Amino acid sequence: MYVAVKGGERAIDAAHDWLGRAHRGPAEQAPLDTAQIRDQMALAVARVMAEGSLYDPDLAALAIKQARGDLIEAIFLIRAYRTTLPRLGASAAVDTGAMRVKRRVSATFKDIPGGQVLGPTFDYTHRLLDFRLMADGELPATPPATGDGAALHAPHVLGFLNRDGLIEDTPDDGKEPGDLTREPMELPADRALRLQALARGDEGFLLGLAYSTQRGYARNHAFVGELRIGAVSVEMEIPELGFAIELGEVEVTECETVNQFKGSRTEPAQFTRGYGLTFGQTERKALSMALVDRALRWDELGEDDQGAPAQDQEFVLSHCDNIQATGFLEHIKLPHYVDFQAELELVRRLRAGAEDEA
Amino acid sequence: MTAIPSQMDRRDALGLLARAPAARLAELLPELPAHDLLRAPEIGTVMVRGRAGGTGAAFNLGEITVTRASIRLPSGHVGHGYVQGRDKSHALRAALIDAMGRPDIIETLRAEETARRAAIAVEAAATRVEFFTLARGEDE
């Protein structure tokens, strides 16, 4: 229990003043511009948008600057800001099949219509520090590519497997999805709520859980059927107009996994699937999300509960939100004097009782 | 200029206005014509939805910031602006252009958006992988 304390105003003010100066860094350095953070720290911005659950690159850059690069603190700032805004409506579901892709790979099929497109990836780099970035000199600029600029037609890879009935179908049930930012999540949660929770969940936590499934804790043999990154249009019905407009565009990462098949005497064998969708270029997160989504589907797919953490939706969904987690964790730093005083009294009394008996 | 646009044209124009950079719209319409505010610019969010498996049941992915405004011109034409981001002047300009009908501005925005998208498509196409295959069953 946290009991309010009084006093300390002067020290708190001084601490915040120091924070302000520490935040600025040495006065002789140029201050960081939020546009530089937005454009040059774009993957940090993407993570803050994905887990902050608010797509606005300028705001995410500001939050990162204010948080001195502490991304969970930045996500906290974004979540807090979001609560101050009215909700104007909900979009139609984005059409990821019509994504304007800048990256699109499949680990299961070599030859896919539209081709494999690597995009701006760290894959195949040697992970050697590039000291040119530290020196004054900029990297030599390479000229941008040339071409006709025709949009890549890239239908979903798993659609082809689906056509042959080799993979489970994912029909649209037409249901209005629950929203955990409006109604407290009740367990067991349906897949729509689980996907929402995972999409805003902590990357590190989900990465660890996804990895645990690969190592054997509810192993489900995931292959990356397709991973794609690119822009999708956001369309919403505007009441005063009476029709929908494409009022925005967001970059998203989508990951579809092809998993362990199931089948029986009456049903032919069929692959199953996991799904990840996240704001920004956040492919480690989307991939982790897909693996954990698949692990959480054990019940509906008729698999055994192996007691693995990634299968336990209460465990996963109650602990994947890093703002809930850090809020509870970090509050124990704050004064608990009265609370602790009571414990101290109790231990003293127990000890006194034991001495009396001796 | 006062020809009533079809709903498709208006939808198309409102989308281009919404997705254009706010600064660009300010360049294209530096002076705001006289108007009455029906709804002062207001910042809010829109919940973006996705679908499980890309095509299945809808779920809530996360929000985007959106700013909206509605105006009436002295001519009586009403305009609505819904734009991505938090720039109030962007929403106001979108509403004004919606009411005024400015095909010149819309066509400029269309060309610029097409060019922005093409530039990314070109970069992406250059990273297309051509894997060598040693044996291709379908060639038999």
Q: Tell me the three-class secondary structure of A129-193, residue by residue.
A: CCHHHCCCCCCCCCCCCCCCCCCCCCCCCHHHHHHCCCECCCCCCCCCCCCCCCCCCCCCCCHHH
Q: Above 80 in pLDDT, residue A358?
A: no
- Smallest Cα distance from B31 to chain A, Å: 23
Residue A232 and residue A73: Cα distance in Å, rounded? 28
B129:A249 CB<8 A: no
A144:B61 CB<8 A: no
> HSE of A65 in the Cβ direction (CA atoms, 13 Å)?
16
Is B115 within 8 Å of B96 (Cβ atoms)?
Answer: no
pLDDT in tens, B95-132: 999 999 999 999 999 999 999 999 999 999 889 887 66
Higher pLDDT, A147 or A33: A33
Sorting pLDDT into bands at 50, 70 and 90, what band is A8?
confident
Q: Residue A160 has what pLDDT?
A: 81
Over its C-alpha atoms, chain B yields an Rg (Å, rounded) of 20
Q: Above 90 in pLDDT, residue B37?
A: yes
Q: Residue B140 has what pLDDT?
A: 46
B80:A118 CB<8 A: no
Q: Which of B11, B62, B129 sits opposite A54 (nearest CB)?
A: B62
Q: Which of B18, B52, B58 sits opposite A245 (nearest CB)?
A: B18
What are the residues whose beta carbons fall under 8 Å from the beta carbon of A121, sequence distance 6 or more?
Answer: A103
Q: Above 50 in pLDDT, residue B1?
A: no
Q: Residue B4 has what pLDDT?
A: 61
For chain B, the domains span 7-126
What are the residues whose beta carbons fall under 8 Å from the beta carbon of B2, sequence distance 6 or more?
Answer: B75, B77, B101
Sorting pLDDT into bands at 50, 70 and 90, what band is B31?
very high
Whole-angstrom distance between the N-terminal and C-terminal Cα of chain B? 61
Q: Can you tell me the mean pLDDT for A17-33?
A: 91
Sorting pLDDT into bands at 50, 70 and 90, what band is B139?
low
- Smallest Cα distance from A284 to chain B, Å: 17
pLDDT in tens, A156-202: 988 888 887 888 888 888 899 999 999 999 999 999 999 999 999 99
B80 contacts on A by Cβ (under 8 Å): 238, 240-241
B118:A149 CB<8 A: yes
A51 contacts on B by Cβ (under 8 Å): none
Residue A271 and residue A160: Cα distance in Å, rounded? 13
Q: Above 50 in pLDDT, residue A37?
A: yes
For A119, the token pair is: 């995009």
pLDDT in tens, B55-86: 999 999 999 999 999 999 999 999 999 999 99
For A91, the token pair is: 């979009």
Interface of B with A in 116-135 (CB under 8 A): 117-131, 133
Interface of A with B in 150-209 (CB under 8 A): 150-152, 156, 158-159, 170-181, 191-193, 195-196, 199-200
| ipTM of the complex as predicted | 0.92
CA–centroid distance for B4 within its chain: 20
Q: Above 70 in pLDDT, residue A3?
A: no
Sorting pLDDT into bands at 50, 70 and 90, what band is A95?
very high
Q: For chain B, what percent of residues have pLDDT higher than 90? A: 81
